[in-house]
């Protein structure tokens, strides 16, 4: 991997809650996935209550789940990490679609409709808009561009249950909704696509403080390539946290019990990479993937 593609990012997350009844359960997903192209240099997670913690890593997506049961009172989770990314870059015109018979088994679930990505409902629309385009990366980019230009980013315009079909109808939403719509349109024309979370590196401060960010990975050319249909952040600065069929699979925090969220703070910044060079993530015309691709 050429050094000029290497970037290193340090990020912090602090999540605070008030637990109002005993035996409240939490599942967190704020730690970066460990992949061959996403190396964790530093990793520290603390929890304010002295409770048992159980970790699980999904073998298919590398998503890292932290499970714990908290007692009554305040609970604060703090995470800090430094991650070095060496993403794969490719010229878009060199990336064909991967035919269904050639898809790895773990990719197959991302062909199907899911709760928030009703690709079956949107099949007719997707085929009329994108069905005749060249079957490669460019067709995925066309879907991404269409969503970017036809949906307005409006904070507070959707809810946690808004689906892709609703976003297509209202033509407004936040990053989660842009991602769901793009995923549904990709799946509707037989392109595997998944919902992925990170932090919104490079987002306009006018949109608010640093936050978690939803983007899309589409499986073409034997790799998961990154797309940001909301256009609010810089893909070269995306640290992958979790991936799934839609937002239901990739929440940064899930609470079970009587719990009130109290605080949420996130920060991310580029730092010096292992070769001693500080590189600032920028927008590039290349296709970018932090997936290691097919075996050779």
95-104, 124-133, 202-211: lowest mean pLDDT where?
A: 202-211
What is the per-residue pLDDT across 279-292, written as a single tens digit (0 to 9) for each?
999 999 999 999 87
Pairwise CA distance, residues 287 & 141, whole Å: 10
What is the overall mean pLDDT for the chain? 95
What is the per-residue pLDDT across 149-182, written as a single tens digit (0 to 9) for each?
999 999 889 999 999 999 999 999 999 999 999 9
pLDDT at 293: 67
Mean pLDDT computed over 93-107: 95
pLDDT at 1: 40
- Checking if the pLDDT of 296 tops 50, the result is no
- Checking if the pLDDT of 295 tops 70, the result is no
**CA 40 to each of CA 53, 58, 106, 249: distance values in angstroms, whole numbers, following the listed order:** 20, 17, 24, 23
pLDDT at 207: 87
What is the per-residue pLDDT across 220-234, written as a single tens digit (0 to 9) for each?
999 999 999 999 999
Read off the tokens for 189.
């024309």
- Checking if the pLDDT of 294 tops 90, the result is no
Pairwise CA distance, residues 222 & 278, whole Å: 30
What is the per-residue pLDDT across 244-263, written as a single tens digit (0 to 9) for each?
999 999 999 999 999 999 99
Domains and CATH numbers, the chain: 3-86+251-271 (2.60.40.2250), 93-248 (3.10.620.30)
């Amino acid at each position: 991997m050429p050094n000029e593609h290497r970037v290193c990012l340090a990020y912090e997350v602090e999540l605070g809650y008030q637990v109002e009844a005993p035996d409240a359960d939490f599942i967190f997903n704020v730690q970066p996935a460990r992949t061959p192209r996403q190396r964790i240099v530093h990793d520290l997670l603390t929890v304010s209550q002295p409770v048992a913690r159980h970790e699980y890593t999904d073998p298919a997506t590398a998503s890292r789940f932290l499970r714990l049961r908290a007692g009554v009172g305040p609970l604060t989770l703090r995470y800090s990490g430094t991650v070095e990314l060496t993403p794969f870059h490719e010229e878009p015109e060199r990336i064909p679609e991967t035919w269904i018979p050639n898809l790895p088994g773990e990719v197959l679930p991302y062909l199907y409709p899911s709760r928030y990505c009703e690709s079956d409902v949107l099949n007719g629309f997707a085929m009329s808009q994108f069905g005749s385009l060249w079957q490669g990366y460019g067709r995925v980019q066309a879907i991404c561009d269409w969503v970017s230009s036809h949906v307005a980013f409006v904070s507070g315009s959707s809810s946690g249950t808004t689906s892709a079909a609703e976003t297509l109808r209202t033509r407004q939403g936040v990053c989660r909704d842009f991602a769901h719509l793009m995923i549904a349109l990709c799946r509707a024309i037989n392109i595997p696509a998944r919902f992925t979370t990170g932090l919104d590196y490079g987002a306009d401060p006018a949109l608010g403080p640093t936050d978690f960010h939803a983007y899309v990975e589409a499986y073409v050319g034997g790799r998961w390539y990154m797309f940001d249909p909301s256009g609010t952040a810089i893909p070269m600065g995306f640290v992958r946290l979790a991936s799934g069929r839609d937002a239901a699979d990739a929440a940064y925090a899930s609470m079970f019990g009587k719990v009130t969220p109290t605080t949420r703070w996130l920060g991310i910044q580029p730092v010096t990479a292992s070769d001693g060079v500080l590189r600032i993530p920028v927008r590039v015309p290349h296709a970018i993937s932090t997936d290691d691709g097919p075996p050779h």
